[in-house]
Amino acid sequence: MTTTAPAPASAPADVAALRVTGKDVRADGVLTLDLAAPAGGRLRDWTPGAHIDLVLPNGLTRQYSLCGDRWDPTTYRVGVLREAAGRGGSAFVHDELAVGDLVGVGGPRNNFPLVPADSYLFVAGGIGITPLVPMVRQAELLGADWRLLYGGRRRSSMAFLDELAPYGDRVEVRPEDEFGLLDLAGFLGTPRPGVRLYSCGPAPLIAAMETVAAGWPPYALRTERFLAEERGAPVRTTPFEVELARTGRTVTVSPGVSVLDAVGDAGVEVLSSCRQGICGTCESGVLAGEPDHRDSLLDDAERAAGDTMYICVSRSKSDRLVLDL
């Protein structure tokens, strides 16, 4: 059945209504959605590693990596895994959303960009292959040296094997029921300069990559997570003040209230999506004060610079923060 449902009226201002133009099963529990402007025409440009927000007609917002052809300006493609333990976003996409429906789309945004390098080693786990598919295409286009290690539970659950097959030996497909756990140390080899490591997948894979890549040069490894990193308690247990430099207002943020909500209650709307510190939507400039970074996006150097923060989860170490809002 095909239904047409508008994006929710409360959708943020940068959300466009796009039409589902394709829905195809790509592996057990994995499908791709194609999205296009209802009247056709160009969509906003994107680069490998980018994601979009799907603002679903049932009110849920979910982030999905773009996995189509970045040189096709009229279509976005995302891969969606049915998550049995999810909160209903992927089940809605699998069971309800149909070709012809309208769906809200925010972004694209890229927190996982492919930086220039001579050589790349890509490691994907399960649906973590989605941002890496455009990356290997880009690396191939640029003539870079690259290899991909792709793990999954079973071969039948691993999407895009058909698209990766033409790359031959550059791609190592390693279903766990045939090969066991991924041999990350063997794949990465000895640390060497000029090689960038990119990994996307479930938390245990990312943790294993961080361990195995510990001897590599700083910032050689870039990762993208499905879930926020575990964080301990906030540094402060007392309220702090946030001055909004452009608005000229100061708000008090109490324990248990996010900076995002405190700022919103003061009438200053900041776009947000995941509210877990993983999508990047709520990034806000820091003009003064010391943030207590609690996101899963910034690396150590970016945290130390202290000039930006994700206000859905991050808080303050100092009595006062001044934000560029």
- Contact positions toward ligand FES, by CB under 6 A? 272-275, 277-282, 295, 310, 312
Distances (CA, A) of 152 to 180, 281, 313: 10, 29, 31
- CB of 278 vs ligand FES, minimal distance in Å: 6
Task: Tell me whether residue 206 or residue 312 sits nearer to ligand FES (CB atom).
Answer: 312
* 51-63 per-residue burial string, b: 16 or more CB within 10 A, e: under 16: bbbbbbbeebbbb
Contact 127, 81 (CB under 8 A): yes
Residues 86, 118: Cα–Cα separation, whole Å: 38
- CB of 261 vs ligand FES, minimal distance in Å: 11
- CB of 271 vs ligand FES, minimal distance in Å: 8
Task: Tell me whether residue 29 or residue 277 sits nearer to ligand FES (CB atom).
Answer: 277
- CB of 8 vs ligand FES, minimal distance in Å: 17
Task: Tell me whether residue 201 or residue 280 sits nearer to ligand FES (CB atom).
Answer: 280
Task: Tell me whether residue 20 or residue 313 sits nearer to ligand FES (CB atom).
Answer: 313
- CB of 280 vs ligand FES, minimal distance in Å: 5
Task: Tell me whether residue 30 or residue 274 sits nearer to ligand FES (CB atom).
Answer: 274
DSSP characters over 21-66: EEEEEEETTEEEEEEE-TT--PPPP--TT-EEEEE-TTS-EEEEEB
Report the candidate in 11, 2, 7, 8 with the shortest Cα–Cα distance to residue 271: 11
Percent of the chain as helix, strand, coil, to the nearest 5 = 20, 30, 45
Task: Tell me whether residue 184 or residue 311 sits nearer to ligand FES (CB atom).
Answer: 311
- CB of 30 vs ligand FES, minimal distance in Å: 24
